[in-house]
Amino acid sequence: MNTLEVVTLAAVATCVAAPLAGALALRFLGQRLDPRIASAAAIGLSFAAAVTVAVCWQWGGGRTLTYGSRLAGGDLVIIDGLTALLLPYVATVDMAIVLVAPRRALATTGVWRLLVGASASLAMMSTAHPWALVSLWAATSLSTWLSIRGTLGGRATARTYAVAMVAALVCMAAGTGMLVADPPWLAGSGTLGTAGGWLVAVAVMIRKGIVPFHSWYPALFCGGPLATALVTTMPQVATYTAVRLLVGHADGVAAELVVLSQAALVTAVYGAALAAVQRDARSLLGMLAMSQSAMVMAGLAGTLPTELCGALAIWISSGLSLTGIGLVVWSLESRAGRIRIDTLQGRFADAPMLAAFFLLFGLASLGFPGTLSFVADDLIISGSLDERLPSGLLVIAATVFAGIAVMRGWFHLFGGPVTVDAPQHAILPRERFALTTLVAILFVLGLWPGPFVHALENVAASLLLVRAPHPSVTLPAGNPP
């Protein structure tokens, strides 16, 4: 193991351990530590380590690094293009949430649970081992359930979430066991591996909120803490699982992945259409998140690198833009409570900077020229139209409905008559910093997409390779030979 590999492995360990260490510190020294400072320090260290992983991976020539036993068809730690892409992304989302969170949302118990969930998500993005994925599914689900259950009035939402996650975890565990026993990424796999693949696909559908298993998704945004909803949904752990376990079968694109893709396209259109008629800001955010999340899954069944590259780009662009919209909504709620959008609210005079950020993030989620989503939509639509015309048309329809929903939400939130003596709420410095950083990332990557798209092309091409060098060697999807 050379020096660069040692540094990379140490950075991955730091990235995962830093939020967990912060959570333990807040759990046992909560009275002596400021929750925001402690959590920001932990996430900041994690972000620095994640960037180090990405830089080391690039310096290493883009070669996949794996550590740990290959027992059960996977590596305990994997550092490839997907890991190098997702670790900084997840850390960025977590840092923005911690910075913007209102003071009353930073109760010690809630913060350490959030940090535990962040650590589990980062750990998941660093492994391809099937049983590690199952364990981390359970850890992230439990952290989210505890956060929802600890919220005032959140017990009904917690029950809904628990039913969905228990069903998903049972299917995931059973399906993973079958995949390990009869790996479909090897030629000659049989019925057991096929059945396992379908069970994993069902688990992914439930965890991602794909129709008809979508009822828990908007409920989480409406009945749970907004920070928990964002930390749970933006990393898209179910999508990551599908990439590691379902992409790269020996016989090409897995049939269950094709079905997942088709159901995801329907969900993308359905969620965007529902977003256009929601009556409160959280419901709007939840439906948009469900739609955009499904769009990522829709591109994973593509056989063209362009389509898969577009799915990965949407993964990042939609996550950052929806996090921005969610943080704007959260900032408004901290000033005025839960906000309805079935009537004109006239919030522009109250918070003009938040209005500007909402519009920018909304446009950045719709493929506005100059943003990362413009590049992402061009890639996935071009790939879809080249390969499957109906899929491309559904992607366009989902984008149109989402555009209507975003603009309706913006006009209803910030338009309308204003009370003469309405209070003025200036944007806070920490809010300005976090939101400006997210906007800057979206526009910089949109105006200068070359290096980012080149990295995505390498990731997409590697994921589409058939990996079966020898019948006695079981390599999971995501590991080059």
Domain boundaries, the chain: 253-447
Contact between 78 and 70 (Cβ < 8 Å): no
Give Cβ neighbours of residue 425 (< 8 Å, ≥ 6 apart). 335, 350, 351
Cα Dmax for the chain: 76
Provide, rounded to the nearest whole percent, the portion of the chain with pLDDT above 70: 86
* Exposure string for 352-378, b = 16+ CB within 10 A, e = fewer: ebbbbbbbbbbbbbbbbeebbbbbbbb
Of residues 309, 346, 197, 330, the one with CA closest to residue 257: 197
Distance of alpha carbon 41 from alpha carbon 247, whole angstroms: 36
Q: How confident is the model at residue 270 (pLDDT cuts 50, 70, 90)?
A: very high
* Exposure string for 123-132, b = 16+ CB within 10 A, e = fewer: bbbbbbbbbb
Distance of alpha carbon 359 from alpha carbon 93, whole angstroms: 19
- This prediction's pTM: 0.89
Q: How confident is the model at residue 421 (pLDDT cuts 50, 70, 90)?
A: low
Q: At 66, which helix (H) or strand (E)?
A: strand 65-67
Contact between 261 and 300 (Cβ < 8 Å): yes
Of residues 373, 364, 371, the one with CA closest to residue 324: 364
Is the pLDDT confidence value at 413 over 60? yes
Contact between 199 and 178 (Cβ < 8 Å): yes
Least confident of 106-110, 161-165, 409-413: 106-110
Q: Is the backbone peptide bond immediately before 480 cis, with ω within 30 degrees of 0?
A: no
Q: What's the gap between Cα 186 and its chain centre?
A: 29
Question: Tell me, what's the pLDDT at 251?
Answer: 45
Question: Tell me, what's the pLDDT at 476?
Answer: 41
Q: How confident is the model at residue 475 (pLDDT cuts 50, 70, 90)?
A: very low
Is the pLDDT confidence value at 381 over 90? no
Q: In the predicted model, what is the mean pLDDT of residues 59-87?
A: 79
Instruction: Please write the tens of the pLDDT for every residue from 178-236.
Output: 888 877 666 556 688 788 888 999 999 999 999 899 889 989 998 888 888 999 999 99
